[in-house]
Structure 1
Amino acid sequence: MKKYEIILHDLEYKIKNKTYQENDLLPSENELVKIYDASRATIRQALKILEEKGLIQKQKGRGSVVIASSKLNFPISGLTSYKELQNSLGFESVTEVIKFDKITVDSELAAKTLFEIGIPVWRIIRVRKIDGEAVVLDHDFVKYDICPNMTKTDVAYSLYDYLEKQLKIEISFAQKEITIDFVNDEDRQLLDLNLLDRHIVSVKSHVFLNDASVFQYTDSRHQVDKFRFTEFARRQKR
């Protein structure tokens, strides 16, 4: 990991756990140079990314101010489990498993998931609660034959933790699609939506193993006012 990335992650962690709170000034660039034993250019690179992530605002004559962030930053790129995201962002969350059963893929499900018609899959529906409020509704379909002995307890804690640590399955990559969908009856029933909410952010993912075979399809539905979907992009030299 490069030096600016180490500094970036440390400052981001301190902002997330309220070491530096809203409207606080971060240490000056000169102070950060001494704290991290780094060059001014390295410090500026870390601060630039913090600003791009919406965590600080540089103000002339004052320095870098921590700004309010009522939304959780969910990264678009990368393949990260909800449990890993919870640990990295430092928020408290409870997972409630609404449904966990084995079903057979029909033509409608095959069209969505890319699974073959007739094969068995696990159907998993989970609600994620933050501060006691139901804000994420996850629908997962996972090939049954790769994890036939999986339990409701396993998916309540972390599906990927079970697959990777217990079964030693190597998860490779995902294709994601993010859309703004209309709220449906199930969203109304299972999520703590506002009465005026008409839309929800849906992140649909096909997830693949190392052999490029799809093993999971997910539709993760998020309250629109609770999350900020982010990606850090660097322009490639041409």
Structure 2
Amino acid sequence: MNKFTEIYLTIEAAILNQVYSAGDLLPSENELAKKYAVSRETIRKALSLLLENGYIQKKQGKGSIVLDVKRFDFPVSGLTSYKELQTAQHINSQTIVTKNIHTPLPDALAKHLKLPEGTPAIYVERQRQVNGEVVILDKDYLLASVISDMPDAAAHDSLYTYIEQTLGLVIGYAQKEITVEPATAEDHLLMDLHDEDTHVVVVRSDVYLEDTTLFQYTESRHRLDRFRFVEFARRRNPSETL
């Protein structure tokens, strides 16, 4: 890992852990260069990464201002496991595995994924408790041709940790769809919904390995009042895209 990436990750962690709060000024480039014993150019590269990822905003005459990094925010883009979000955002959460079974893909899902009917899969269903309330219901279908087994301990901890660190597979990208849909009877049964909760946010993803192999379909159902789905967008100079 190069030096400016290391510095970026160090400052990112400091912002996420609120060493630097929203509205704070980061130390100057000179101060950071002295602190990390690197050139100002290296610091500029680290600050550029922070800028591009929505952690800071440059203000002429002032320096680098830390932006508001909200907890309990779920990014629209990016491919991050729930455990990684839980760790990064310090969410007081527990996972309950309600199902971990081998089963054929449902016909409608097989059609969506353009796979034969009866394609073998592993179905993992998990409730996510936050502060004692089940506010997320995660449903995952893993293609058995790629993931032949999913131990209960791994399902409870992190599917992606097991897939990447134990199986040695490289997760590449996902195609996501986000909708707001009427809450189902199953949602009311398995989630702690309020009487007024008529809808839930549903995030569906087709997930692929780095080599473009489809290996997972996931459906994550969220209580509306508990989480925000966000994306940081930065305006590009139109001339740069010409």
TM-score, length-normalised on structure 2? 0.74
1:157 aligned partner = 157
In 1, the alpha carbon distance for the partners of 2:116 and 2:110 equals: 6
Listed as ranges, the gaps of 5+ residues in structure 1 are none
> Secondary structure of 2:136's partner?
strand
Shift of the 11–209 alpha-carbon distance from structure 1 to 2, 3 Å rule, reads closer
> Secondary structure of 1:26's partner?
coil
Shift of the 200–92 alpha-carbon distance from structure 1 to 2, 3 Å rule, reads same
Q: Offset at 1:69?
A: 2.9
2:172 aligned partner = 173
Alignment check: 8 A CA contact 2:208 2:216 kept: yes
Instruction: Show CA shifts across 1:7-51 (max 9, x none).
Output: 221111011112223443322232112112333344344334434
> Secondary structure of 1:68's partner?
coil
Instruction: Show CA shifts across 1:105-143 (max 9, x none).
Output: 342121234442123322212123344454433210112
Q: Percent identity?
A: 38
> Secondary structure of 1:141's partner?
strand
In 2, the alpha carbon distance for the partners of 1:182 and 1:43 equals: 45
What is the identity, as a one-letter code, of the residue corresponding to 1:7? Answer: I
1:55 aligned partner = 55
In 2, the alpha carbon distance for the partners of 1:8 and 1:69 equals: 16
Describe how 1:5-154 pairs up with structure 2 within 5 A. Answer: 5-59=5-59, 61-72=61-72, 74=74, 79-88=79-88, 91-144=91-144, 146-154=146-154
Shift of the 64–197 alpha-carbon distance from structure 1 to 2, 3 Å rule, reads farther
Aligned length: 237
Alignment check: 8 A CA contact 2:183 2:200 kept: no
In 2, the alpha carbon distance for the partners of 1:211 and 1:29 equals: 40
